[in-house]
Structure 1
Amino acid sequence: MTEIHPQAGLASEVVGRPAPNKGVLIGVGTLLIVLTNAVIFILPPLLPIIQAQYGLATVAETTWLYTALTLGGGAGFILLPRLADLYGDRNASVAASAFLAVGALIPAVGDSYPTLLVGCMLMGFGGAAQLLPLGFLRRNLGEEGITVGVAVLVVATGVGIVVGMIGGGFIVESLSLRSFFVILTAVCAATTIACFVTIPHAPPAERNGRIAVLGTVWMIAWVAAILLTLTQGLVWGVAALVPLVVGIVGGIAWVRVERRSTSAVFDVAMMKTPLVTASCLCIALFAAVNSAFLLLLSTYAQISPENLRPEDSYGLGLSALQTGWLMAPFAAAFLVRGTVLDRALLNGRGVPVFVIGALTSASGLAWLALAHDQQWQYLVGAAVMGLGTRIGYAAGFTMVQMAVPEEKAGMAAGVAGTSMAVGFALGTALISGDLSASLVPVVGTGLEVAAKGLYGTGYWLSGVLALLVVVTVLISRARSGRRVDSAVS
């Protein structure tokens, strides 16, 4: 069973300061999570609009914006939560919000594909702000910190999806893509000020230690090399084997160096705690399923059958705003409170919770693989998918947080968040490759879109990822049992 570390009580009581306002802290934490998830989930319904406005030729080129966002998040999810542990929650939150503001400002001013790509990288880095409430709520709310922090993360994620999918589509339809980024810049700047004013500037939770910058950069580099192969491999052909080999060799070397490092990116002792590594793998798989589902749905929904040849015809012909409403059940499912499952997690029974989440997600994907031609079919599938993903995220983040003491809450959030970022990028790259396997022309435009049959294939592939969660936790439990039997012997 996962080791549960007791809370040290309210941090403000330890240092002799007035207790922070619980409602204010939850409010600013909710704001950070809503904003960062809105930025992430704005992109799927807007990808076709971005492709048309900037004249991008292929699906793979368009989805590099999504991959850039999640790769930037990979760096931010490691560095910024550790910054909170070492230099204070306020400093980390202000820095993350500032990166979001600058990342939105660049495409607002540049209004081009290159500036949008750079902005996505910076906004991805600032997207680590969604993990910071796990640390400052735990450090300031005492014994209920983990439960409240994870609940805020999950619920606010659902709200952020609604804001991103529906609000983003409404703004773009009413104004323009450039105007949207101007508004986003203003919102991010206001959030930066709110973080500075409301989050307590407490002494660092962890006084010793440093951020492993070299290890972090190395990790992002080899992951990016593999993702480059997955995203552009069909275009590059045999040449794609070069970044693939570089990525695999770099990853193996990174793991070997990290095991011997005195300042590893991740705490080795924490990763050896039962079910922690498995929880991180499960978070990555749920994130991959999440991003794959969003990309498949948003792409199919916005293709108009009238623009294709009769033999290739498919799609719903929806706008970005209408696509956002189609995803509303996915977001609404995140608002469902699973009291029984939460209690099971706090009692260390994470395996059955993971299995429930995985099987729920797999059933939703199987439904969509067989039925994705009508809007009502997406509404049903989105609701089931949202519930399964919500259960999986809650289980993963809770299990990882319970494995560490309060002063390392940021590191734990960073480990889980990095897994989520890599999963998002992998899911996007996988489906991007799938949708690039066979293309059909859009009449009168010179553009091409995926062939109809690839969407069913994409949903089945995503379902396999969901079932791998079950395999992961069962193997982890079996290995833990063998270690216990060996120790007893």
Structure 2
Amino acid sequence: MTETHERSRGALSGAGTNASRAALIGIGSLLVVLTNAVIFILPPLLPVIQAQYGLATVAETTWLYTALTLGGGAGFILLPRLADLHGDRNANVAAATFLTVGALVPALGDSYPTLLAGCILMGFGGAAQVLPLGFLRRGLGDGGITVAVAVLVIGTGLGIVAGMIGGGLIVQSLSLRSFFVILTAVGAATTLASYLLIPHAPPVVRTGRIGVVGTVWMIAWVAAILLTLTQGLVWGNAALVPLALGVAGGIAWVSVERRSPTAVFDVAMMKAPLVTASCICIALFATVNSAFLLLVSTYAQIIPDALRPADAYGLGLSALDTGWLMVPFAVTFVVGGAIVDRPVNNGRAVPVFVIGAIISAAGLAWLALAHDQQWHYLVGAAIVGLGCSMGFAAGFTLVQLAVPAEKAGMATGVAGTFLAVGFAFGTALVSADLSASLVPVPGTSLEVAAEGLYGTGYWISGVLALLVVVTVLVSRARSGRRAAAIGS
């Protein structure tokens, strides 16, 4: 980090004088755990939701997860920037409020439309998972980045357990509606805690504005393309309409953003060494992560006896039992984030990305070949969790190191946006894959994916993991050529 950045951090290190170090870390951990629990609770609940609301297709069901992640895309851009311009407390209270209202909507409505609306709001508020990167860095001064990334990674691991196991337990013992009532209460308590524990330290100088129009525009064209991916097999040629709109909107968006004074992404930051590559890698790891979760959750909860003998497959597990399969993922997710801090800060991020990608690809290849026994998933989850956590920790750390503390929120927003888009793309990819060939569930109007599509989904996800290797090697080669040109 440059001397200028260090001075900026030092100037802002007094922001946490009204809240103890332990309180800041505690509320940061709570935000990360809660928001990740919301994200990871949905995959094992999708089959339950499909049955309860009578949703006919996998694509219709997984759109709930896509809505959650697209809402997160907007939140990841706007809320961290709000923290930079108007203070950390205001941004975190706003995020927790959106999360609370998002849970309240399906609790009151108890229908698919209200659940879809609630997912969008909860996704937007879910951006609170990355806000601690900003207020911990600003509040803790020297070493704040290391602590903030550790809180993010460890909290994510705990959130996985809380979401996939705790949510399954609540739904199994109570109901979906009861779960959202409980989530509303937890969200309200978190909102109050954010207000009481996070210091209000508005920036000395406010630079720039929040690019709301550019953010909404970006989410719109990305959503149009994802809609084509998820519904293409159902709509046929009609799916080309949102595809064309999405592509045209994306091209126009890029053109306008290059000249906009409130551009969504900071151009100067993106030109820093490995920053753009890090963001792309975050998106690829997120794609792999969400694809893995949905493939596991869907296969594990298919009941073999409910299908015709020729079509039978699945483990017949409950949402709670499916959550237990993810415990190794959570454990290695914490381990992976802890072991990469030193090499990344010592300039060895490229090997970390490569190793993380290869480990993830190995876990997915294992599941492509072996996914019909519970122990297969326990092994695969441990491998994939380790690889993904290494990639996430390296990516978020590098992006933070590229900016001074007063722009920590902006850097968080950029990385978080790529994370959300990656999760949304992984969801749409799996939805398209599992919709390619359907088999009926006798005695119902439901259809499920043919068994062979799961192996295909894991292989595709493994290839995406290996694209991380290509991304960082190309970026390093370009940086080398650029440095050579300057030297000559």
Q: Under TM normalisation by the shorter chain, which class is it?
A: over 0.9
- Indicate if the aligned counterparts of 1:11 and 1:140 stay in contact, CA closer than 8 A: no
Identity of counterpart residues, as a percentage?
A: 77
In 2, distance between residues paired with 1:38 and 1:46? Answer: 12
Aligned to 1:6: 6
Aligned to 1:150: 149
The alpha-carbon distance between structure 1 residues 312 and 272, as it changes in their structure 2 partners (threshold 3 A), is same
Query: Which shifted more, 331-340 or 278-287?
Result: 331-340
The one-letter amino acid of 1:468's match is L
Query: Which shifted more, 17-26 or 99-108?
Result: 17-26
Query: Which shifted more, 304-313 or 19-28?
Result: 19-28
Q: TM-score, normalised by structure 2?
A: 0.98
The alpha-carbon distance between structure 1 residues 11 and 50, as it changes in their structure 2 partners (threshold 3 A), is farther
Note the residue ranges of structure 2 that are not aligned, 5 or more in a row.
none
How far residue 262 of structure 1 moved from its aligned partner, in angstroms, is 1.9
Aligned to 2:268: 269
SS in 1 for 2:93: helix
Aligned to 2:35: 36
- Indicate if the aligned counterparts of 2:170 and 2:179 stay in contact, CA closer than 8 A: yes
The alpha-carbon distance between structure 1 residues 205 and 79, as it changes in their structure 2 partners (threshold 3 A), is farther
- Indicate if the aligned counterparts of 2:154 and 2:337 stay in contact, CA closer than 8 A: no
- Indicate if the aligned counterparts of 1:312 and 1:451 stay in contact, CA closer than 8 A: yes
Aligned to 2:440: 441
SS in 2 for 1:367: helix
In 2, distance between residues paired with 1:226 and 1:407? Answer: 34
Aligned to 2:301: 302
Aligned to 1:183: 182
Aligned to 1:215: 214
The alpha-carbon distance between structure 1 residues 43 and 206, as it changes in their structure 2 partners (threshold 3 A), is farther
Aligned to 2:46: 47
Note the residue ranges of structure 1 that are not aligned, 5 or more in a row.
none
Aligned to 1:373: 372
In 1, distance between residues paired with 2:7 and 2:235? Answer: 52
How far residue 249 of structure 1 moved from its aligned partner, in angstroms, is 1.6
How far residue 246 of structure 1 moved from its aligned partner, in angstroms, is 1.2
The one-letter amino acid of 1:79's match is L
SS in 2 for 1:449: strand
| Alignment RMSD | 1.5
Q: How does 1:350-429 map to 2 (within 5 A)?
A: 350-429=349-428
How far residue 296 of structure 1 moved from its aligned partner, in angstroms, is 0.2
The one-letter amino acid of 1:5's match is H
Q: TM-score, normalised by structure 1?
A: 0.97
The alpha-carbon distance between structure 1 residues 166 and 205, as it changes in their structure 2 partners (threshold 3 A), is farther
Matching of residue 344 in structure 1 with residue 350 in structure 2 = no
How far residue 7 of structure 1 moved from its aligned partner, in angstroms, is 5.6
The alpha-carbon distance between structure 1 residues 333 and 110, as it changes in their structure 2 partners (threshold 3 A), is same
SS in 2 for 1:336: helix
SS in 1 for 2:6: coil
In 2, distance between residues paired with 1:236 and 1:176? Answer: 33
The alpha-carbon distance between structure 1 residues 135 and 205, as it changes in their structure 2 partners (threshold 3 A), is farther
The one-letter amino acid of 1:47's match is L
In 1, distance between residues paired with 2:300 and 2:140? Answer: 43
How far residue 288 of structure 1 moved from its aligned partner, in angstroms, is 0.3
SS in 1 for 2:181: helix
How far residue 257 of structure 1 moved from its aligned partner, in angstroms, is 1.5
Aligned to 1:256: 255
In 1, distance between residues paired with 2:8 and 2:410? Answer: 17
Aligned to 1:97: 96
- Indicate if the aligned counterparts of 1:12 and 1:18 stay in contact, CA closer than 8 A: no
In 2, distance between residues paired with 1:476 and 1:5? Answer: 24
The alpha-carbon distance between structure 1 residues 191 and 10, as it changes in their structure 2 partners (threshold 3 A), is farther
- Indicate if the aligned counterparts of 1:365 and 1:462 stay in contact, CA closer than 8 A: yes
Q: How does 1:273-284 map to 2 (within 5 A)?
A: 273-284=272-283
- Indicate if the aligned counterparts of 1:79 and 1:211 stay in contact, CA closer than 8 A: yes
The alpha-carbon distance between structure 1 residues 267 and 332, as it changes in their structure 2 partners (threshold 3 A), is same
Q: How does 1:102-113 map to 2 (within 5 A)?
A: 102-113=101-112
In 2, distance between residues paired with 1:170 and 1:202? Answer: 40
In 1, distance between residues paired with 2:305 and 2:4? Answer: 58
The alpha-carbon distance between structure 1 residues 11 and 302, as it changes in their structure 2 partners (threshold 3 A), is farther
